[in-house]
Structures are given as C-alpha cells and as structure tokens.
Structure 1
C-alpha cells in the first residue's frame, strides 16, 4: 500500500511540475496537453486538479483538459459523474471557460450516436443543463456564455422546454452584450425560430 501512495504522489508531483510551467500561450498549453496524451496515467490526476479550486494550478489543468479533450474525449467517459457533479465548484473564469467548451464537446458527442460517442446519463445531462444556464445568466465572460448558448441549443433539440427559456434569456440580454455575444445569440435565435 505504501508503494501505491508513493507512486500516486510521484504522479501528482510530475503533473504539478508540468502545470507549474504552463502559461497562457497556446503553444505552451498544447505542449503540456501533448505530455498528458503521451502519458495517459496523468489523466486521472488532471481531472482531479480541474475540480480542486484551491489548487494553484486548477485553471491550468482546465486549459489542458480542453486540449486533451479535442484529441481523446472518450478518456472522460469513466469520469463523467464526477465531472458533471462538480461543475458547480468552479468559480474562477479561467477554469470555467475551458470546462464550458469541454461540456459542449461532450454534449455534441452524446447526441452524435456513433461508436465513438460519449454516453451521458440523465443526471449528467441535468447537471449540464443547470451549469449551462447558470453560466449564461451569471457574470462570466463572453466565450463561456457562447459555449453555454451552443450547448443549450443542442440540448434544446432533445428537451422541449430549453429552447423557449433560452430564447427569453437571449432576447432579454441581447442589448447588454458585446458584438461576439450578439453574433452567437443571433445565430442560435435564428435556428430556434
């Protein structure tokens, strides 16, 4: 048992060491994501750090998870209950934005329904809907809102109450937002109407 603890502490320190050197530069984030893709044993710890807001590398882990998800979204399948049930613990905008993108990827994959699709439980979907509406109506940056709008649009094709709610929010908030928000809102409103 001691050896297992030692090994997991080594994994943690290895990943933490990598995250310590990650900066906001895209190339830098891609390099760390590539390290995780080449060393899948780091993935469990990455997920854990993503949902540990007290960890100094929390936001960096979320950045890396986004890039890893573009390549290996299926790696999240065994972690979905943990992932979705912990969306509400994220408070930092730098963590929420990449996770909102991962949520969008997961929802799109779930409804794609092919052999490489993610399977989301009804509870996962409910947690996703709640988080997406929260991000949409709360004070977060435009990118997070845009991901949430697109995620809710996809979900609204399967839950008939979502599109009318989304339509109300988008129409009400339209005048208060940036050109980027308005562009996404217009695109989705056009699809809904």
Structure 2
C-alpha cells in the first residue's frame, strides 16, 4: 500500500471503535505501513492527521511493542502535533509507553526507549500540561510524568507546582486525576 492509498483509506476512519480497530490491526499485520502512518500523523496541519493518530493509538493500545522500531520518529515529532483530536491519542500513546517502560515485567520498550526519547516525552507532556489543552491530554500527561519522573529530580517538583496552580481553574475530571497524582508524589517523597 502506498502513502496515497493509506491516506485515502484513512478517510474511512471515524470515531467508531470498530473502524479504528480494523485499521490498527491492518497496521499490526503490515508493519511496513507504520512508517507511512506516522508520516501522515506528523503532517500536523492536515485534516487526516488526527485519523492517523487514532489508528496509531489503537495499534499501540492493542500491543505497545509495535511502536518499538518507531520510537525515534515518534518522540522526535510529537511536539509538533497541535490539532486537539490528534493531541489526545498522542498523549495516550505517551502514557502507554510510560506504563510499559516502568512495568515490572520485561518488555521491548524497556530495552529500546533511550534517555533522549524519554526526555522528549517528558517535555511534550509538560507542554500539554501548561498549554490550553483539553482534560484528556492533561490527564494522560500527568500520569506519564508521574511514571517517568521517578528518575528525574526536577520532574516531581515541577509537576506538583503545575497541578497545584491549575487545580482551582480546572474541571472535576482534572481535579480527580490531579489529586490522585499529588497523593502518589507525596507518598514517594515521604
């Protein structure tokens, strides 16, 4: 399948779980298509970019290890994504990477993800926290920062500051997740 063909196929992706899952499984069965999907995802001003992000998120949710050969491309470009409906799935994939990386079980993410890539994820998640993003990317970002921040002295103080500052201005969903993360940070610090 060419870039043009995949681009055309992504027109059929909608919010339905079945469509996203169908194309996510297509990617898993044809890993040679993943670089093309990422290329489309990172055409950040294109209306099809969010659809590529939805498929990529579902693919990673099904099996996060499928991203392993593409971690460099993914982390090098995530900061460019700005359309709301593409930011949410990108933030979710960051959280999935963080969960796999901090898992007690051995996996390919732990072996492949390097410090530069982790720092890119952290930087992007902090951007999502301080920018005018919706609740979902902020929630995924605070979880990602909590998980990856254990190895970086500066992450928890900065995350705590942002969460405490924004707490009163945010929605109930944000407050619930922020309270949970702040408790976890406090527990680690004591």
Output the TM-score relative to the length of structure 1.
Answer: 0.89
Consecutive unaligned residues in structure 1, runs of 5 or more: 1-9
Q: Check if 1:129 corresponds to 2:122.
A: yes
Question: Alignment partner of 1:130: what SS?
Answer: helix
Tell me if structure 1 keeps the 8 A contact 2:7–2:40: no
Deviations 1:112-159 (A, max 9, x none): 264423021111011111101000010000000000000011122221
Which of 94, 97, 100 does residue 103 from structure 1 map onto? 94
Deviations 1:53-101 (A, max 9, x none): 1333100000000000012322222221111111111111111110101
Let me know the Cα RMSD of the aligned residues: 1.5
Which of 160, 165, 171 does residue 158 from structure 2 map onto? 165
Q: Distance in 2 between matches of 1:81 and 1:39?
A: 20
Q: Distance in 1 between matches of 2:92 and 2:11?
A: 23
Tell me if structure 1 keeps the 8 A contact 2:54–2:86: yes
Q: Distance in 2 between matches of 1:162 and 1:103?
A: 16
What is the deviation of 1:50? 1.2
Corresponding residue of 1:32: 23
Output the TM-score relative to the length of structure 2.
Answer: 0.90
Consecutive unaligned residues in structure 2, runs of 5 or more: none
Corresponding residue of 2:66: 75
Q: Which has the larger radius of gyration?
A: 1
